[in-house]
Amino acid sequence: MTAPILELRQLSRNFDGVRAVDNLNLQLFPGEIVGLIGPNGAGKTTLVNLISGFLQASSGSVIFNGEDITRVKPQRIARKGIARTFQIVQPFAQMSVLENVMAAAVFAGGSGFKQARECALAYLEFTNLADLKDRPASELALASRKRLELAKSLAMKPRILLLDEVNAGLNSSEIDGALKMIKKIADTGISIVVIEHLMRVVASLAQRVVVLHRGAILSQGPTQKVFEDRLVIEAYLGTRFAHKAQAGNP
Ligand SMILES: Nc1ncnc2c1ncn2[C@@H]1O[C@H](COP(=O)(O)OP(=O)(O)O)[C@@H](O)[C@H]1O
Ligand SMILES: [Mg+2]
């Protein structure tokens, strides 16, 4: 059996009495795409913050590649190989698109200026941003800014990529482009956790889905199976969510 690249053990995080993440156990395996879904406030972003070290766990542990990283600082976790995007995109606005990606490559370590530039150019090509490389990041439209987030994450040479609503606000053809890109990334062997409200996106990307509700796992399994479990989804997440799940079920 393959060892998990990431393992969450009885992970919890409280905020003044609110159990944002509640005794959660989860494993992520090399090269798989897992969809993380659940209503607003379910604890999805908190989970990403716990894994990437931006928030401290109240209890439990995060194991990356066999190593306990629960108390490790976010910068070190990023260098170890866990990259995350932010729900609210935050590039270095004054820097050019290329410089933003170079900064990520340099931060990840192990490369000088020339290598960082080459690496950044490759990822800009990959994310279809090469034409915009000399523009200030602040000038990019939303879809391009989201792609820049991806390019920056990839320049960190991650083994795990945590995508927090990276497709939010994109139109349908932009989403199709993003889907292709995320699939290409997974094909390189990077494990991906994709947080996403659009069920068609989850259905198209993820082999496995985890449904989070009030910080705990409500249901998990192969994507089609979980989406067919309409009663569970309806009972806990509301009929609107269930309809969306069905609509995304090809
Ligand atoms: N920094 C914080 N301080 C206090 N409460 C928080 C904080 N971050 C998240 N929460 C609470 O934790 C719960 C989960 O939030 P979040 O992880 O953002 O959910 P999701 O990303 O699934 O919408 C919510 O009740 C939210 O209000
Ligand atoms: Mg969120």
What domains sit in the chain, N to C, each tagged with a CATH number?
A: 1-30+55-66 (no CATH), 85-159+175-189 (3.40.50.300)
> At what angle are helices 172-187 and 142-155 packed, to 10 degrees?
10
CB of 41 shorter than 6 A to ligand 1:
yes
CB of 37 shorter than 6 A to ligand 1:
no
Give mean pLDDT, residues 58-63: 98
Q: Over the chain, what is the mean pLDDT? A: 89
Residue nearest to atom 12 of ligand 1 (CA): 20
**Per residue in 216-230, is it b (16+ CB within 10 Å) or e — as a string?**
bbbbbeebeebbebb
For the segment 145-196, what is each residue's pLDDT rounded down to a tens digit? Answer: 989 999 999 999 999 999 998 888 888 888 998 898 899 999 999 999 999 9
| Contact (Cβ atoms closer than 8 angstroms) between residue 18 and residue 34 | no
Residue 249 has what pLDDT? 42
Q: Output the CA 20–ligand 1 centroid distance in Å.
A: 6
What's the CA gap between 43 and 48, in Å, rounded?
Answer: 9
Residue 166 has what pLDDT? 85
| Contact (Cβ atoms closer than 8 angstroms) between residue 120 and residue 102 | yes
Q: Could you tell me the pLDDT band of residue 244, with boundaries at 50, 70 and 90?
A: low
Q: Which ligand has the nearest atom to the CA of 49?
A: 1
